Amino acid sequence: MVKFLQGPSPESPLYGRTPVRVELRPWSRRLALSFLEQGLSECGVKHATRELEEVLSVLGTLPGWLSFYGLRRCIGMPHGAALREAEEQAVAIASRERGNLLEGRGQVGAESSQDARVWS
């Protein structure tokens, strides 16, 4: 993380390109549902409202995870498989990020490491 924050070295192909931080907050449930419906319709993917409600229940309303799920549906993956893959990726990334935050802090927070799937 420190190397990333310091920026690219002169040997890096990204040298001279300043990183830009883009922060997207969770969408409203209504906007997230509309996003999924429109995107899947544009791809010609038939979907049920109950499937999209399940996506929102599992993944929440973060645009990145909705896009992750939607892309998989658009390339032909069935609902269950696309949702499972998106959830697995989200859990893996959250676990890595949590590990990065706790790195070097010893056992601080160890009592809350029961399950990476539990987040709010």
pLDDT, tens digit (0-9, with 9 covering 90-100), for 61-98: 999 999 999 999 999 999 999 999 999 999 999 888 88
Distances (CA, A) of 72 to 23, 36, 61, 79: 23, 12, 17, 9
Residue 33 has pLDDT above 50, yes or no: yes
Return the minimum-mean-pLDDT range out of 6-10, 28-32, 82-86, 103-107. Answer: 103-107
Dihedral over Cα of 51, 52, 58, 63: its sign: positive
The mean pLDDT value for 19-37 works out to 93
Residue 26 has pLDDT above 60, yes or no: yes
Return the minimum-mean-pLDDT range out of 5-19, 38-52, 70-84. Answer: 5-19
Residue 57 has pLDDT above 70, yes or no: yes
- pLDDT confidence of residue 119: 45
Q: Alpha helix locations (H) across 1-120?
A: 2-6, 29-43, 49-59, 63-74, 79-102
Three-state DSSP class for 99?
helix
CA 78 to chain CA mean position, Å: 19
Residue 112 has pLDDT above 80, yes or no: no
Give the fold, CATH level 3, of 25-103: Helicase, Ruva Protein; domain 3 (1.10.8)
